[in-house]
């Protein structure tokens, strides 16, 4: 059973019953699920959680769902001690939270699992989203598992190759003539016309909660404590705020000590509206035109930008933007030290972590967790230049001539 009691506007405090609703009627700010933490605290304990299923759903008492979950095997991904990378960066207690290892290879499985579960509870038979990448794949996969129809909307000029990861699950794939802006505007109209669960429109407050499980898992895997520092990517800012919320909730429920984690967000310089606002000391996040290879975090107008900004500031953390070149170098560094092939957003995180460590912002002995939210093979074309084989003839002489000195 869920301890969710209402939807609440973070800006003005207005409350609404639990329903498929995204924005406050009054001030058009995003709504958030509000819980009865007092009752929740009686239901959860370290022992009970530790004995739970080996997936994100071990935390179901802290998620806004009532019935059976739609789960394709998501979560409880490895938290790896990154000794090699740590040595390179001068950090003694560095961990990587490897969310590449979810069923559709990104952290989106967490948020979509909650959203689709909720969609089914609300009686939707169709779910939908606008995305080419991680979200599309996860939505299509979960729809298949839940026996629901899925519509995936993409701009028409996207290369077909990018859509295989979603198309394999047999959603209804719709190409829209225009930009992403146009696709989103169409979806905003469709949600009014059709009784569909749009994953990041009318289901957004529930979708958002799935990311808290990243915070829960990391704390549990560290032996029931929060890290000293977190480095995570920011697109809409939702993931970043929910990692913090997850840690904060565990403290509120008495499961860990009070949280003193410094939260650092990383973006690409080609799309860094939140970092810009942080560095300008501004309260408002001004939209930008995205221009980066890190497509999965290329949101020019982040809906949760203000809240992510607030978390970075209030936690005594920060925000940094790295170039595409640094991101690619970050992808290579992570792969070549820890054997983890992350997508570009992961490269952004590692490059940001490197900057923060080198400048002494993150200290050598601070327990630091870097969040890798999606796997590299999906966008491997951005590092295709890495393939530089040595060519030999099929004989020993040739090998020794070409590689003898190395072997």
- In the complex, the residues that contact another protein under the rule CB under 8 A are 11, 22-23, 26-29, 130-135, 180-181, 183-185, 187-188, 191, 198, 200-201, 204, 235-236, 238, 271, 284, 286-287, 290, 294-296, 298-303, 379
DSSP string covering 126-179, please? Answer: EEEEE-SSHHHHHHHHHHHHHT-EEEEEEETTS-GGGGHHHHTT--EEEEESS-
Give CA 385 to chain center in angstroms.
27
- Comparing CB distances to another protein, the nearer of 179 and 398 is 179
C-beta of 119: minimal distance to another protein in Å?
A: 16
- Comparing CB distances to another protein, the nearer of 188 and 403 is 188
- Comparing CB distances to another protein, the nearer of 120 and 295 is 295
- Comparing CB distances to another protein, the nearer of 129 and 146 is 129
C-beta of 18: minimal distance to another protein in Å?
A: 19
Quick check: 179 and 155 in contact, CB under 8 A?
Answer: yes
Residue 7's CB is within 10 A of a number of other CB atoms, namely: 23
C-beta of 217: minimal distance to another protein in Å?
A: 24
- Comparing CB distances to another protein, the nearer of 2 and 102 is 102
- Comparing CB distances to another protein, the nearer of 308 and 362 is 308
Distance CA 372, CA 243 (A): 13
Here the tokens at position 368 are 């630091």
Looking at the DSSP bridge assignments, the partners of residue 8 are 15, 32
Distance CA 395, CA 404 (A): 12
C-beta of 214: minimal distance to another protein in Å?
A: 18
C-beta of 110: minimal distance to another protein in Å?
A: 16
Q: Which residues contact 193 (CB under 8 A, 6 or more apart)?
A: none
Quick check: 369 and 227 in contact, CB under 8 A?
Answer: yes
Give CA 55 to chain center in angstroms.
16
Return the exposure string of 225-254: e unless at least 16 CB atoms fall within 10 Å of the residue's CB, then b: bbbbbbbbbbbbbbbbbbbbbbbbbbbbbe
C-beta of 181: minimal distance to another protein in Å?
A: 6
Residue 347: which of 333, 362, 361 has the closest Cα?
A: 333
Distance CA 33, CA 23 (A): 12
Distance CA 153, CA 132 (A): 8
Q: Which residues contact 101 (CB under 8 A, 6 or more apart)?
A: 77, 78, 375
Give CA 302 to chain center in angstroms.
14
- Comparing CB distances to another protein, the nearer of 140 and 201 is 201
Quick check: 378 and 134 in contact, CB under 8 A?
Answer: yes
C-beta of 135: minimal distance to another protein in Å?
A: 7
Distance CA 160, CA 345 (A): 22
C-beta of 367: minimal distance to another protein in Å?
A: 31
Distance CA 394, CA 159 (A): 38
C-beta of 30: minimal distance to another protein in Å?
A: 9
C-beta of 398: minimal distance to another protein in Å?
A: 43
- Comparing CB distances to another protein, the nearer of 184 and 380 is 184
- Comparing CB distances to another protein, the nearer of 27 and 386 is 27
- Comparing CB distances to another protein, the nearer of 15 and 397 is 15
């Amino acid at each position: 059973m869920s301890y969710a009691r209402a939807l609440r506007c973070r800006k003005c405090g207005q409350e609404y019953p639990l329903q498929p609703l995204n924005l406050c009627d009054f001030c058009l700010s995003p709504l958030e699920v509000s819980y009865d933490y007092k009752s929740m605290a009686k239901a959860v304990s370290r022992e009970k959680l530790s004995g739970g299923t080996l997936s994100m759903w071990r935390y179901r008492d802290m998620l806004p769902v009532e019935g059976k979950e739609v789960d394709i095997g998501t979560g409880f991904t490895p938290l790896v001690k990154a000794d090699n990378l740590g040595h390179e960066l001068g950090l003694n207690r560095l961990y990587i939270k490897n969310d590449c290892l979810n069923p559709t290879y990104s952290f989106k499985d967490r948020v979509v699992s909650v959203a689709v579960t909720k969609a089914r509870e609300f009686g939707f038979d169709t779910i939908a989203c606008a995305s080419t990448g991680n979200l599309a794949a996860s939505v299509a996969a979960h729809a298949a598992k839940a026996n629901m129809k899925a519509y995936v909307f993409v701009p028409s000029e996207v290369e077909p190759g990018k859509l295989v990861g979603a198309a394999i699950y047999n959603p209804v794939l719709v190409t829209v003539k225009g930009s992403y802006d146009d696709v989103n505007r169409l979806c905003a109209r469709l949600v009014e016309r059709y009784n569909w669960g749009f994953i990041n429109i009318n289901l957004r407050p529930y979708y958002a909660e799935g990311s808290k499980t990243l915070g829960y898992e990391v704390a549990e895997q560290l032996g029931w404590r929060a890290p000293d520092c977190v480095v995570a990517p920011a697109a809409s800012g939702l993931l970043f705020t929910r990692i913090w919320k997850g840690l904060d909730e565990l403290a509120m429920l008495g499961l860990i000590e009070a949280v003193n984690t410094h939260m650092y967000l990383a973006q690409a310089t080609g799309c860094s509206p939140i970092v810009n606002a942080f560095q300008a000391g501004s309260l408002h996040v001004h939209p930008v035109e995205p221009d980066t290879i890190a497509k999965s975090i290329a949101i020019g107008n982040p809906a949760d930008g203000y809240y992510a900004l607030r978390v970075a500031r209030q936690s005594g953390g920060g925000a940094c933007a790295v170039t595409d070149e640094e991101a690619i170098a970050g992808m290579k560094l992570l792969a070549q030290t820890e054997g983890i092939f992350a997508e570009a957003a992961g490269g952004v995180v590692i490059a940001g972590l490197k900057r923060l460590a080198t400048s002494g912002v993150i200290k050598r002995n601070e327990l630091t967790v870097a969040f890798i939210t999606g796997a590299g093979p999906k966008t491997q074309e951005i590092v295709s230049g890495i393939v530089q084989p040595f060519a030999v003839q099929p004989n020993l002489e040739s090998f020794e001539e070409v590689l003898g000195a190395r072997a």
